[in-house]
Structure 1
């Protein structure tokens, strides 16, 4: 199975072509080609070119894709909208399923080392998106909060945004943003059983930064 993976929930615009064997319960998704550009203002400009570069590098065309996996956040409104709309467009054009996954879960997959984990990413407004994991399973979150109001404990290690992990007194693991392989790993069970994916629902967790003028007056 060939899977297109997309995430725009963080300042990193991530795309990748991933090979995955749905008939094997032990198969680990393998990224054949990936691109990541760190620029919170360039999601719309660089995502599709990155996808096409990944397809070309891996020796495939869009018609070879069997599924799309896209991170649905939590993340800022504009970034999430670009990634999810692009993933949905590829799925619709190719007639293939599009699976949405929690972007924090993908970071947790890459950071997993057996210890209880806290994942944090930049929510702007001096806040963080966060979730906790125990034995690889999300046990709390995702939610949004000020770092000063989030306890590091009982987590034993932390991963996520480089500018925020140091705010907590926990050992830092080297996983800052969702990877293409990590995104597919989160969707692995759904891909194996071939379930019909749920509609894509973005995890904004709060109102968008940009609001209509009428709303500002309320």
Structure 2
């Protein structure tokens, strides 16, 4: 099965083609660019570049996997809307996975660890993992608040773009990879499970708010 993997939950604009078999997976083509302000401009060119490297066209894609956050509102919705649009156009299922889970899937660690990414506003998104999966989060906190919980969480290292903010040894990767994204959805893809609705993990309200109704001005 050829799977298109996308993620825009961090400044990394990730697109890749991953071949999923009964007993493994392999990246056939990938494009990862870094620009927190150009997710919309970079994602589709990245998709086409990944397909070209894999030697396929979009019509060969059999499923789409996209990161659903946590991530800032503007960047995250680019990847999710693109994934949903491509899935509809190609007639293939679209699976959403936690972007932190995708990072964790690629981490090689000797003990429990954190995944920490940029939430802006001087805060971080984080989740904690052990050898069997996610144990806490995802959540959003100030780095100092998270650092104070390290002992309570029992973690010994951290991955993700802001791993160095919590005072623990830093692990790779810093962002979700195509293989990591597909690894999280692999069981569902192999069994043909219903992917369900794409639900973003914003964890807080977007910066832009709808204006309240203007007060009526009366005269007399």
TM > 0.5 fold call = yes
Alignment map for 1:146-185 (pairs within 5 Å): 146-150=142-146, 151-153=149-151, 154-161=154-161, 164-185=162-183
Task: Determine the C-alpha separation between the residues in 2 that align with 1:128 and 1:199.
Answer: 26
Aligned-partner SS, 1:33 = strand
Paired with 1:165 and 1:141, the residues of 2 have a C-alpha distance of 15
Q: 1:210 aligns with which of 199, 208, 211?
A: 208
- Listed one character per residue, the Cα deviations across residues 143-165 of structure 1 (whole Å, up to 9, x for unaligned) are 1111111122310111011xx32
1:60 to 56, 59, 80: 56
Residue of structure 2 in register with 1:41 after alignment: 37
Which of the two has higher C-alpha Rg? 2
Partners of 1:5 and 1:69 within 8 A in 2: yes
In structure 2, C-alpha distance between the alignment counterparts of 1:214 and 1:40, rounded to whole Å? 29
Map of 1:189 onto structure 2: 187
Is contact 1:112-1:136 (8 Å) kept? no
Q: Distance in 2 between matches of 1:100 and 1:56?
A: 24
Equivalence map 1:106-185=2 (5 Å): 106-150=102-146, 151-153=149-151, 154-161=154-161, 164-185=162-183
With the length of structure 2 as denominator, give the TM-score of the two structures. 0.92
Q: TM-score, normalised by structure 1?
A: 0.93
Residue 114 of structure 1 and its aligned partner are, at CA, apart by: 4.2
Unaligned 5+ runs, structure 1: none
Matches within 5 A, 1:61-76: 61-76=57-72
How many angstroms does 1:9 deviate by?
Answer: 0.1
1:114 and 1:19 map into 2 onto residues whose CA distance is 28
Larger mean Cα displacement after TM superposition, 187-196 or 4-13 = 187-196
Offset, 1:214? 2.4
Question: CA RMSD, aligned part only?
Answer: 1.4
1:102 corresponds to:
98
Q: Name the SS for the 2:105 alignment partner.
A: helix
